[in-house]
Structure 1
Amino acid sequence: MPSSSWSSRRHLPNSPFQPEPERVVEIFETGDRVSHDIHGLGLVVGVDSYGVTVDFGAQTLRITSPFNKMEKL
C-alpha cells in the first residue's frame, strides 16, 4: 500500500480550496522583549536550536519552537 502525505500534495490553480499557508517560525535573539499569551511579558536570556529561555520575572521558562503563543515586541 503506497503511503501518502498531505504535505506532498500540490495545489491546483483551479481548485476552489485555498492552500494552507506556510508556517513562519519567528527568530529570537538574546535581549529581545517578548509577550507570551499565558506568561505575559518577558526577556529572552538564552537561545538554542530548539527553543529559547525567557525570564518572565517570577519564573524563567524554556519555550520550544514553534513559538505559537509568543511574539517579539
Structure 2
Amino acid sequence: MENIVERVIRTYGLMISLTPEEEAAARQRVVEFVKGRRGDENAIAVEAIKHLRGPKPSRRRRARRASELSA
C-alpha cells in the first residue's frame, strides 16, 4: 500500500504544485482511499489519482451538425 501512496503522491505532485501542507492532506486522502482495496496496483493508483483530481467535466466531442459539415 505504501508503494501505491508514494507513487500517487509523486505523480500528483508532477501535475499540480503542492505546498507541504497540501501534500500531507493529499497523502491522507490517498491512504483513506486505498485502505482495504485489493487487486492490480496500477489500477488502484490510477483510481486514486482520479479521486484526488475530483470530478471533471467531460471532454467528449460533440457530433457535428449537418449545417456545420456543409460550411
TM-score, normalised with respect to structure 2: 0.22
More helix by share: 2
More strand by share: 1
